[in-house]
Amino acid sequence: MRVIILRGKSDCGKSTTLNLVYDELVSHPGVSASPKIILGNPSQRDFECIVTLKDTREIAFFTMGDYKNNIIDAVKKYGQQNVEILIIASNDEFQNHLDFICSNYPFNIINKSIPILLNSSTITVENFKDCGTILSLI
């Protein structure tokens, strides 16, 4: 399993970006997904699920990145399920899960892009930019 880690501060758009990645993947014919399991407060849009691509690769999502212990549990869980890729959100205040991932799995880290001017348009542009970066790694 390879882990793609989207790192950033709390409430910077990590879950929003990973929802964009999910939406893009499942929009293609022949792609299926297990039901999204909502994690924590629904307004945060955190979820976990597995997407099966047309070529049968399985990609797991775990977006509740502001709780460090949950991340390690998710990495272990999906590692045991032999998914090809796990995509996670990760609060940049935490290090212990990164140590665990880096010691046990190949990984890519994407630092969440933050616009200089904070408005809905620039935030959306940065979220789509990060979405494209993650999709390019799949």
Domain limits, the chain: 2-136
Backbone angles phi, psi at 73, to 5 degrees: -60, -40
Arithmetic mean of pLDDT, 82-110:
91
Residue 128: the pLDDT is 96
Arithmetic mean of pLDDT, 125-131:
96
Q: Which residue has the higher pLDDT, 69 or 8?
A: 8
Q: Tokens 């998914």 label which residue? A: 83
Residue 66: the pLDDT is 75
CATH 3.40.50 fits 2-136, yes or no: yes
- The identity of residue 58, as a single letter, is E
Q: Quote the pTM value.
A: 0.93
Closest CA to 83 of 110, 118, 44, 56: 56
Q: Are 2 and 105 in contact (CB under 8 A)?
A: yes
Q: Which residue has the higher pLDDT, 121 or 19?
A: 19
Check pLDDT > 80 for residue 77: yes
